[in-house]
Structure formats: structure tokens, C-alpha cells
């Protein structure tokens, strides 16, 4: 087989990208932390600025506030001149030869509390310059000695105050949308980003991310795992946050998330959990985290984040590897093996009929019974925490969307209620045209979803479909086979539903939605109802659990035309909470033999690089 520029162009027409030609294999998206040189003075609540190979670590606390300043050259720290006023939790900006340190928490002879003091570094000493207008500590800070932002922070409470430094004075400019402190920050004075923040118990603030355009802040994609006392580095379009405290208070974390300008992705963890360290870095490929505290003590250790210099490859990407004198080889990054289920964090209660949305590492779970509840839970990939309650307690609800932009509709007793979730609270919106129950699957987003099947007050097993456009429901084409208790996955323009029940028995029928009509496709191998599913569209997904009758552990994989049995659940269950993709899904709670369960299981398929063909 020959791969040339013509074939690559054809592939672009089909898939929207060219096939890259390279003489070395790209690496799988990775990035990792490695040990750097230790600080001379172990301490926490210090601040930092600069880049990975040229950074400052400023101030801090080791039982007393300190003015220590240390300079990093990429391998070791050197003590240089101290601040004029000792402090902790200050803001900072600039480089190793021209920096600012402002605000913070001071001790006598200055006021014992939040400070407005600002000092400027010239490479050898600190000089006091114009003070902040609002004294505070734990603020976001980015910029240079001639153009800096100080955003949010804490006085006696969280504040949204945003001040801009022009080289001689601070001016209050557009405030944050959400008041908070101890937040991560990156970017410049005209193109900044802040993420997370607190303090506890401000759970609603925990993952909020805001972008600055030079005059106003706009909320953008939330962190997957919100918290405070975060380390951070990078730019408005290429950044990292790391460490800190997970919300609601669940201890210190080593989690790292990478920002690409629109969304956060969890990447490799720090070697050790910690918070309150000095941070520096130019992008999401290069960063530094020094000092801080682990459980029980301050530390001097430094970790350095690096990313391979060769291009990174992600799921489904193809490339052609060439080498002088040998055949060209087409390769791809593909799923390897059939996958397996493993235990996840225990759900807070043993319920069934719980609605869900989101992903395996950012799951939104709502409702359930018995007793009938309005409770909402959020999963971060390892543990569950409580979110804002629904307005209407219900079970067997349809779900769609994400953990921070969710949708719930219908429910027991034939509800027409529809609610949307913003990451902290639910709001009632326009109702279904036909009240329905017995649907616990996820299809679509908060602004584009499709809800098919279930029961309505007039029919046991409905064929009705309704399409949500972000503000109202519209009736769509009916299913070919009416039923309740169906599984499903996908989006509003490409979805799949399968299984279910309609007297006198359970179903194995599968139907595919193309945005206009439902088409019958390959049946499940095992007829089941009230089963779970995970998938991004109608061409790839899994179906697991259900009532067969009894409590099924079966898991089947869909390839766009047929089902194949793959690795079963550890515990057979029905009426379970479920969401995710063909590669990473989650099953939680539900009914097992004789009772309900609170167990969570996670489905994962590893990836590998495969040779597809040669010329």
C-alpha cells in the first residue's frame, strides 16, 4: 500500500486533518514531573515567578513569616536579598531580574494581617513602591514590573477586586465574576486566566475559570477537580494548575490539569501531594513547583514539569513514519485489548434509578430512590462529593451534558420537569411536551439532547422522542420499537439506544439516530432492560449490566454495526447510574441481589501505537 500526499489530502477531506509525515514516532500525550534542586529554606505559603530555568521563590512561612528570596537557575537555588517586609501568601509577577511582590499576610512591625505593601526587585535588592488599593492575600497574580494584575484574594472574606499596575500605581479595573482567593493564575496583564479558589466551604467556586481580555472577565471551562491553594503556570491559552486542596475538603492533592485555551485535561500527578508552593513556568509544557507543605510539615523539594519535545499523539490519530532506505509505515494510536472494570470511589448511598451526566472523571449524579431524593453528587475520578440539590426529588431521570452544565428531565410519577445544572445549583426550565419516566441514560449536551422511549401516563413503553435545543423540547421521530428501561449513549445528532422492556418481555433491539430518524441496527447479544451505557456517538460504545432477568454483569461493545461481549462488571446490577465513553465509563449504585449497592466501577481500555500498513 502506498501513502502519498494525495491520500493524505483525501483523509483530510474525510477527517478534517492531514496525515503527518515524520521520521520519528510522536509520543503519546504525557508530560511528567521530575525532581529539581531543593530550596535552601523549607517553607510554605511562599510565592514564585519566572520560568522553569530562571525563577524566584519569595517570602513564606516556617513557623514565622519570612522575607527569604531565592533564585533558581534550572538546577539549584541561591539565596539573595530578603524582602523589606516579611510576609506569606503574597502575589508576585515578573522575572529573576525584574519582579514585584505585593500584598500577602504580614506581621509586626507592619500590620498583623492582610497587607497592601508592594516591593520591586531589580535583580539584587527590593525597594518599596506604590501600594495596592485593597489590602489582601492569596490573590491571582500575573504580569511584569510595568504591567501586572492582582485578582481576587482575601481580606476578611473572599473578594472579586481586580487591580492593574502600570509601573508606578495600581488602578482598580474590571472585577472577577466570582469572588475568591487562594486561586491559580497565568498569562499577562492584558490576557490573563484565573482558576479555582476558595476558601472552604465555597464549593461553588472550586472549579471556576475566568479569562481576562484587558477590560473584562469571562467565565470559560471549569477545572475537572476544583480546589484552592493551587500552584499554576503558563499563559491564557497554554497553562497548568497543580496540587492544592480538593473541594469539598478532601485533603491535599497531587493532581495536575493542563489548559489548552478552551478546556482542562487531567495529566500526570505531582510526585507528592502538596499546597502553598512557589510556582513558575511559561506554558503547559514547562513549569516548576518549589516548597509548600505536605501533610504535617513544610518542605524544600522542587518538582519540574516537562513535556516531550516531539509531537504528541492522541486517540485515533494517524501518521506516516519514514526512514532513509526503508519502507514508509503508517501508524495509529488505537485502543488496545478489550478493557476491564476496576473499583472506584464508593457512592455515598445505596440507591437505584440515579440519573447521570458527564464523564468518568467528572460525573454528575442526581436523584434516586429509596427514599426518593433530590440529592446531587459529583465524582472527580476518585471520590464523590455533594453538589446542589435538584428542585424536584425524583428517580429514573434522563440525563445529558457535563458535571458543570447538566440536564435532567422526566422521572417517576410521569414528570415533565426539566432542570439544568451550572456546577453548583439546579434551575427549572421549560417542561417536556410529554411527561415520562423510566429513563436513566445520557444522550447529548445541556443545549442539544435527545430523550427517547420510557413510559408516559398513557403508555407502558413509549416510542416518543423529544429534542432539546437549550431552551425547549420539540417532538422528533418515533422509535421503531416502543419500550421502557432502555440504555443509550451519544449526542443529539448521533445517538444509540438499546435493550429495554415491553410486556411480555425484555428486548435486544438496537436503534441508531442520525439527527433525523431512528434506524434498526444490530441487536444486543443478550436481551436486557434498565442497563447502562457509555459512548460518544452511534458508532462506538458499550452496554453493561441490566435486568436479564436477574442482575446481569454482561458488557457488550458496539462497533457501529454489531455487538461483541467484552469484560463483564465485577457485580451484576440493574437500574444503575451510568455515563462515559467506549474507552472510559462509570457504573455506580443500582440494584443487586436482595438490595441496592453503593459500589462504583470504572471501565478503561488502554491505548497503544499500532502499525497499520507499509508501502
Per-residue pLDDT tens over the stretch 160-174? 999 999 999 999 999
Q: Quick: pLDDT tens for 74-109.
A: 999 999 999 999 999 999 999 999 999 999 999 766
Per-residue DSSP letters for 569-608?
PSS--BS-EEEE-SSEEEEE--EETTEE---EEEEE--EE
Residue where a domain terminates, one of 255, 289, 307: 307
Q: Is residue 33 one of the residues assigned to a domain?
A: no
Contacts of 31 (CB under 8 A, 6+ apart): 256, 258, 267, 268, 284, 285, 305, 306, 307, 308
119 plus 234 within the same structural domain: yes
Side by side, the strands of the sheet bearing 170-172 are 140-143, 148-151, 162-165, 170-172
Residue where a domain terminates, one of 307, 322, 349: 307
Q: Is residue 37 one of the residues assigned to a domain?
A: no
Q: Is residue 197 one of the residues assigned to a domain?
A: yes
Per-residue DSSP letters for 407-449?
EEE--TTTB--EEEE-SS-EEEEPPPSS-EE----B-B-SSSE
At 148 the pLDDT is 98
- Structural domain boundaries, residue 331: 5-27+314-335
pLDDT at position 199 over 80? no
Q: Is residue 38 one of the residues assigned to a domain?
A: no
Nearest residue to 377 via CA among 388, 361, 393, 391:
388
Percentage of residues in the chain with pLDDT exceeding 70?
86
Q: Is residue 34 one of the residues assigned to a domain?
A: no
Strand partners, 94: 99
Output the pTM of the full model. Answer: 0.55
Q: Quick: pLDDT tens for 555-585.
A: 999 989 999 999 999 999 999 999 998 888 9
Q: What is the DSSP letter of 351?
A: -
Contacts of 418 (CB under 8 A, 6+ apart): 407, 408, 409, 410, 428, 429, 430, 431, 432, 468, 473
Q: What is the DSSP letter of 19?
A: P
At 327 the pLDDT is 61
Q: Is residue 35 one of the residues assigned to a domain?
A: no
19 plus 78 within the same structural domain: no
At 13 the pLDDT is 43
**Looking up cell 441508531, which residue turns up?**
512
Mean pLDDT of 177-188: 94
Q: Quick: pLDDT tens for 122-135.
A: 999 999 999 999 99
349 plus 280 within the same structural domain: no
Q: Is 131 exposed, middle or buried, given 0-12, 13-18 or 19+ CB atoms closer than 10 A?
A: middle
Confidence grade of residue 384 (pLDDT, cut at 50, 70, 90): very high
Contacts of 338 (CB under 8 A, 6+ apart): 557, 566, 567, 605
Strand partners, 93: 100
At 509 the pLDDT is 97
Residue where a domain terminates, one of 307, 325, 353: 307
Q: Is 33 exposed, middle or buried, given 0-12, 13-18 or 19+ CB atoms closer than 10 A?
A: buried
CA distance linking residue 1 with residue 288, whole number of Å: 46
Radius of gyration of the chain, Cα coordinates, nearest whole angstrom: 27
Nearest residue to 118 via CA among 107, 128, 133:
128
pLDDT at position 6 over 60? no
Mean pLDDT of 149-153: 97
CA distance linking residue 48 with residue 39, whole number of Å: 12
Cα dihedral 155→157→162→168 (10° resolution):
0
Domain count, the chain: 3
Provide the 3-class DSSP secondary structure of residue 479.
Answer: coil
* CATH, residue 209: 2.120.10.80
CA distance linking residue 290 with residue 155, whole number of Å: 26
At 198 the pLDDT is 81
117 plus 203 within the same structural domain: yes
Q: What are 272's three cell numbers? A: 507528592
At 221 the pLDDT is 86
Mean pLDDT of 529-555: 94
566 plus 418 within the same structural domain: yes
CA distance linking residue 88 with residue 70, whole number of Å: 15
Mean pLDDT of 35-63: 96
303 plus 423 within the same structural domain: no
At 251 the pLDDT is 77
Q: Quick: pLDDT tens for 24-43.
A: 665 555 678 999 999 999 99
CA distance linking residue 209 with residue 196, whole number of Å: 6
Q: What are 330's three cell numbers? A: 503508517
Torsion region of 382: left, alpha or beta (phi above 0 gives left; psi -120 to 50 gives alpha): alpha
**Looking up cell 479595573, which residue turns up?**
173
Element housing 9 (H / E): helix 5-15
Q: Is residue 36 one of the residues assigned to a domain?
A: no
CA distance linking residue 140 with residue 194, whole number of Å: 7
222 plus 320 within the same structural domain: no
16 plus 110 within the same structural domain: no
pLDDT at position 14 over 50? no
Q: Quick: pLDDT tens for 453-476.
A: 999 888 889 999 999 999 999 999
Q: Quick: pLDDT tens for 233-290.
A: 999 998 999 999 886 556 788 999 988 888 888 888 898 899 999 999 998 889 999 9
Residue 612 or residue 370, greater confidence: 370
285 plus 413 within the same structural domain: no
Confidence grade of residue 117 (pLDDT, cut at 50, 70, 90): very high
Q: What are 386's three cell numbers? A: 455533594
174 plus 285 within the same structural domain: yes
Q: Quick: pLDDT tens for 431-456.
A: 999 999 998 898 988 989 999 999 98
327 plus 365 within the same structural domain: no
CA distances from 403 to 386, 424, 470, 481 (A): 12, 9, 16, 31
At 7 the pLDDT is 46
400 plus 462 within the same structural domain: yes
Q: Is residue 246 one of the residues assigned to a domain?
A: yes
Amino acid at each position: 500500500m502506498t501513502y502519498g500526499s494525495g491520500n493524505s489530502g483525501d483523509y483530510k477531506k474525510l477527517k478534517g486533518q492531514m496525515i503527518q509525515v515524520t521520521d520519528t514516532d510522536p509520543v503519546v500525550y504525557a508530560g511528567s514531573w521530575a525532581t529539581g534542586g531543593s530550596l535552601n529554606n523549607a517553607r510554605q505559603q511562599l510565592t514564585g515567578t519566572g520560568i522553569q530555568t530562571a525563577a524566584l521563590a519569595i517570602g513564606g512561612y516556617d513557623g514565622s513569616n519570612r522575607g527569604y528570596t531565592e533564585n533558581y537557575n534550572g538546577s539549584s537555588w541561591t539565596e539573595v536579598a530578603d524582602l523589606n517586609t516579611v510576609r506569606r501568601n503574597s502575589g508576585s509577577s515578573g522575572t529573576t531580574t525584574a519582579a514585584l511582590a505585593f500584598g500577602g499576610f504580614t506581621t509586626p512591625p507592619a500590620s498583623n494581617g492582610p497587607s497592601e505593601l508592594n516591593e520591586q526587585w531589580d535583580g539584587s535588592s527590593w525597594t518599596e513602591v506604590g501600594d495596592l488599593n485593597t489590602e489582601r492575600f492569596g490573590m491571582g497574580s500575573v504580569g511584569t514590573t510595568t504591567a501586572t494584575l492582582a485578582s481576587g484574594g482575601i481580606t476578611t472574606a473572599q473578594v472579586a477586586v481586580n487591580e492593574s499596575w502600570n509601573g508606578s500605581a495600581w488602578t482598580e479595573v474590571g472585577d472577577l465574576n466570582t469572588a475568591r482567593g487562594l486561586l491559580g493564575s497565568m498569562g499577562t496583564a492584558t490576557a490573563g486566566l484565573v482558576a479555582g479558589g476558595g476558601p472552604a466551604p465555597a464549593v461553588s467556586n472550586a472549579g471556576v475559570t475566568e479569562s481576562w481580555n484587558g477590560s473584562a472577565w469571562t467565565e470559560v471551562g471549569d477545572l475537572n477537580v476544583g480546589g484552592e491553594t493551587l500552584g499554576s503556570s503558563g499563559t491564557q491559552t497554554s497553562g497548568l494548575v497543580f496540587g492544592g486542596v480538593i473541594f469539598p475538603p478532601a485533603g491535599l492533592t497531587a493532581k495536575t490539569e493542563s489548559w489548552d485555551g478552551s478546556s482542562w485535561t487531567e495529566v500526570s500527578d505531582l510526585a507528592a501531594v502538596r499546597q502553598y508552593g512557589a510556582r513558575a513556568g511559561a506554558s503547559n509544557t514547562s513549569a516548576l513547583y518549589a516548597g509548600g507543605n505536605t501533610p504535617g510539615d513544610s518542605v524544600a523539594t522542587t518538582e519540574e514539569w516537562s513535556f516531550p519535545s516531539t509531537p504528541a499523539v492522541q486517540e485515533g490519530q494517524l501518521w506516516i513514519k519514514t526512514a532513509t532506505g526503508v519502507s514508509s509505515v503508517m501508524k495509529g494510536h488505537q485502543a488496545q485489548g478489550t478493557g476491564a472494570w476496576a473499583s472506584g470511589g464508593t457512592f455515598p448511598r445505596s440507591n437505584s434509578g440515579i440519573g447521570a451526566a458527564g464523564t468518568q472523571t467528572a460525573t454528575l449524579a442526581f436523584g434516586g430512590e429509596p427514599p426518593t431524593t433530590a440529592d446531587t453528587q459529583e465524582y472527580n475520578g476518585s471520590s464523590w462529593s455533594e453538589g446542589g440539590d435538584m428542585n424536584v426529588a425524583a428517580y429514573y431521570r434522563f440525563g445529558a451534558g457535563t458535571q458543570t452544565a447538566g440536564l435532567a428531565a422526566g422521572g417517576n410519577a410521569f414528570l415533565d420537569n426539566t432542570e439544568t445544572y451550572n456546577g453548583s445549583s439546579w434551575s427549572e426550565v421549560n417542561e417536556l411536551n410529554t411527561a415520562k419516566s423510566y429513563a436513566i441514560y445520557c444522550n447529548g449536551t445541556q443545549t442539544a439532547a435527545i430523550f427517547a422511549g420510557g413510559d408516559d401516563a398513557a403508555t407502558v413503553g413509549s416510542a416518543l422522542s423529544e429534542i432539546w435545543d437549550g431552551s425547549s423540547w420539540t417532538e422528533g421521530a418515533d422509535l421503531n420499537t416502543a419500550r421502557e428501561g432502555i440504555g443509550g449513549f451519544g449526542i443529539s445528532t448521533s445517538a444509540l439506544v438499546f435493550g429495554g422492556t415491553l410486556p411480555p418481555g425484555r428486548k435486544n433491539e438496537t436503534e441508531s439516530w442520525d439527527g433525523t430518524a431512528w434506524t434498526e441496527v444490530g441487536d444486543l447479544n443478550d436481551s436486557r432492560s434498565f442497563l447502562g451505557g457509555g459512548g460518544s456517538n452511534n458508532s462506538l460504545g458499550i452496554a453493561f449490566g441490566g435486568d436479564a432477568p436477574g442482575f446481569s454483569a454482561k458488557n457488550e461493545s458496539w462497533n457501529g454495526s454489531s455487538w461483541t461481549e467484552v469484560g463483564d462488571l465485577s457485580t451484576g446490577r440493574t437500574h444503575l447510574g451510568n455515563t462515559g465513553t467506549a474507552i472510559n465509563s462509570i457504573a455506580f449504585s443500582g440494584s443487586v441481589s436482595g438490595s441496592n449497592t453503593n459500589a462504583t466501577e470504572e471501565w478503561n481500555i488502554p491505548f497503544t501505537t499500532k502499525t497499520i500498513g507499509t508501502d
